[in-house]
Copies of this chain bind each other. A is one copy, B any other.
Amino acid sequence: MPLTPEQALEVAAAREAAQPTRRPTAPGLEALLFQALPVLDHGFVRVIDYMGDDAAVVQAARVSYGRGTRAANEDRGLIRYLMRHRHSTPFEMCEIKYHVKLPIFIARQWIRHRTANVNEYSARYSILDREFYLPEPDQLAAQSSANRQGRGDVLQGEEAARVMDLLRQDAMQTYDHYAWMLNEDAGGTPADPARQGLARELARMNLTLNTYTQWYWKTDLHNLLHFLSLRADAHAQYEIRAYAEVMLDTVKAWVPACHEAFMDYRMGAATLSAGMLAVVRRLLAGEAVPQQGSGLSKREWRELMEMLGRPVA
């Protein structure tokens, strides 16, 4: 994902400027600001702006007049308490804005999270770049046989080679036809003056779903963490997880105490149903509990045994 020299200059200019502010700042995140953190083959995540820090969560929870004089220690304890008990409103008091470059089929997953502000680069108004996502060989996975929405083994040999060729060639061909239909170069002059060129809002329909798009995406910390809990999870599609993992790093740089609490109480946590809890209590009492008669379906039983790190049988 090399930026064009022009874009690199814009980013460098933004990073150079520094102004004094009375607002809370997060030094860890300041260091990352505006940098394009690479994701996949042509994508990136850039933090463009942010509001608030760990102390802002505490301050909102207390509706206080200033940042107070309590020990950082006490603040950390309150943040952990709020996270553990799923309080949401104090975490809504921090906000972050990203610039993201991502394949369209991933953008379509992402946009299902509705509590965010979005400005997407408009292919109705502008011309998209000739960039499309092609998986690395070790990500070219077969359909999982166990899970209808998962991946199995990595494709090998001829099948893998043929799939890569098809993805690459189809993306290049449909883009070339898109460009031909538009009939304009970057500056807007017709490539062939004898033709009119198809409207941009129509020509775009010829692009494949791995074409890259980009957007500004802004959300609050609570909704960001909810997004990350789903998209940095092992069940998420690899391609969106790649973005989520880079974003987790930005959260760590921004609000380290919230990040720590999130990793402990959300990412690594498991929810046990009433029935599962009952089984755990019986097991702890030394009882041998078989799935039959446990009150749990086979599927639930398997899920519980996985949580407890026990063999399913």
Contact = CB atoms under 8 A, between A and B. Distances in A.
A86 to B, nearest CB: 8
A143 B109 CA distance: 30
A140 B202 contact: yes
Contacts of A205: 103, 105, 133, 167, 208-210
Contacts of A283: 284
A209 B104 contact: yes
Given A51-B50, A51-B51, A141-B202, A272 B270 contact: yes
Contacts of A197: 142-143
B19 A25 contact: yes
A78 B89 CA distance: 32
Interface residues of A, number: 142
Contacts of A99: 63, 65
B125 A148 contact: yes
Contacts of A143: 182, 184, 196-200
A142 B104 CA distance: 25
Given A118-B89, A143-B197, A300-B84, A22 B33 contact: yes
A245 interface: no
A249 interface: no
A299 B181 CA distance: 31
A200 B105 CA distance: 12
Given A63-B216, A205-B209, 20 more contacts: A10-B65, A10-B67, A11-B65, A14-B67, A18-B22, A23-B49, A49-B52, A63-B120, A89-B117, A92-B117, A95-B95, A105-B205, A124-B149, A133-B205, A144-B199, A150-B199, A206-B210, A265-B274, A268-B275, A269-B273
Contacts of A39: none
B11 A66 contact: yes
A61 interface: yes
A10 to B, nearest CB: 3
Contacts of A133: 205
A185 interface: no
A181 B169 CA distance: 14
B218 A209 contact: no
Given A25-B21, A307-B277, A180 B166 contact: yes
A291 interface: no
A269 B218 CA distance: 30
A93 B122 contact: no
Contacts of A108: 104, 107-108, 111
A281 interface: yes
B284 A274 contact: no
A1 interface: no
Interface in A51-105: 51-52, 56, 59-61, 63-68, 77, 80-81, 84, 86, 89-90, 92-93, 95, 97, 99, 103-105
